[in-house]
Amino acid sequence: MPPLPDSAFDGEGFLRDLNAWNHGVAEQLASAEGIALTEAHWEVLHLLRAFYDEFDASPAMRPLVSYCKLKLGPDKGKSIYLMQLFPGSPAKIGSKIAGLPKPDNCL
């Protein structure tokens, strides 16, 4: 599938039409963040989407860590693990790559 044009993303790099998300788009979003997606990234991206489906909201850092612990085990349910995969702000950057709604910066 060809990459989406620049116009598919807003000024902050968020996907405008969330229905257009697929694995190729995730690769594109990740590379804009300087991240090359590995299996470990995908595991968390799928988890973020599962969180969204289950709880109808994108997670803040604390529940994301708890959810990873619950679903992936204690080694991966740590903020340091998520920080290594998505440096800076894992919940925010991970959600962006996972094609979840743009956060309203409420925290």
Partner 1 sequence: MSDTAPKRTLVVSRHAPYGNSRARAALDCLMAAAAFEQDVSLLLLGDGVLQLLPNQSPTEGTRNHQKMIAALPLYGVETVYADSSALARHGLAAGDLPAWVATLSDTDLQNFPHQFDHILGF
Partner 2 sequence: MRYALVVMGTPLGDESSARAAAFAHAVLDAGHSLERVFFYDEGVYNGLAGIVAPQDERDPLAGWLALAAQEVELVLCIGSAVRRGALDSNEAQRYEKTGATIHPAFTVGGLGLLVEASAQADRLLTFG
Residues of the shown chain interacting with partner 2 in the complex, contacts defined by CB under 8 A: 10-12, 104-107
Distance CA 43, CA 24 (A): 16
Count of residues touching partner 1 (by CB under 8 A): 15
DSSP string over 66-105: HHHHHHH-TTTSSHHHHHHHS-S-HHHHHHHHTTPPPP--
To partner 2, the closest distance from the beta carbon of 5 in angstroms equals: 17
Binding part of the chain for partner 1, among 12-20, 25-33, 37-45, 59-67 by CB under 8 A, reads 59-67
* Residue 75 binds which of partner 2, partner 1, none (CB < 5-8 A, kind-dependent): none
Residue 68 known to be catalytic: no
Cα→Cα distances 1→25, 66, 98, Å: 9, 35, 18
- Binding positions for partner 1, rule: CB under 8 A: 51, 54-57, 59-63, 66-67, 70, 106-107
Q: Which residues are catalytic?
A: 106
